[in-house]
Amino acid sequence: MILFIHAFSGCDTTSALFGHGKTKFCSLLEKNRHLEEKIQVFFNSEATNDQVAKAGETFLIHLYGCNPRTSACDLNHLHYTLFTQSATKARSTLARLPPTVDAARFHALRSYLQIQKWLGHEKNPL
């Protein structure tokens, strides 16, 4: 799990998510043990791009406070909802919004590529 937390939360080769540090990732995984099963795909050298993207999206949905078990969530809807809530405030930080589905997909793929490299599985980045 340490490799996932380090790569997905931001390291030298992957971008960080504004306002979400490594401790938040750790506490999220502690409180939601079922997510450990979802992120195992990042350690599978044979995982498809779609599997990696879906696992990354699921993790990010939980990170930004939406529980797919209790409500229908996707990152784009969550992004829009949080944007409309923050737009009504006098002071809002757009950098705190969750990434879009496409941005999350590429973040997950970059993290996957880095984890595979650390595990000794050289992958074609294209």
DSSP of the chain, one letter per residue?
Answer: -HHHHHHHT--SSSPPPTT--HHHHHHHHHH-THHHHHHGGGG-TT--HHHHHHHHHHHHHHHTT--TTTS---HHHHHHHHHHHHHTSSS--GGGSPPPHHHHHHHHHHHHHHHHHHTT------
8, 60 in Cβ contact below 8 A?
Answer: no
Amino acid present at 79: H
Structure tokens at 74: 């996707």
pLDDT of residue 121: 94
Report the mean per-residue pLDDT for the chain.
Answer: 90
pLDDT score at 79: 86
The alpha carbon dihedral of 69, 101, 17, 56 has a sign of positive
pLDDT value for 111: 97
CB neighbours of residue 14 within 10 Å? 19
CA angle 103, 107, 124 (to 5 degrees): 120
Residue 77: the pLDDT is: 86
* pLDDT beyond 60 at 101: yes
pTM above 0.75, yes or no: yes
Q: How many C-beta neighbours within 10 Å does residue 38 have?
A: 17
pLDDT higher than 90, residue 76: no
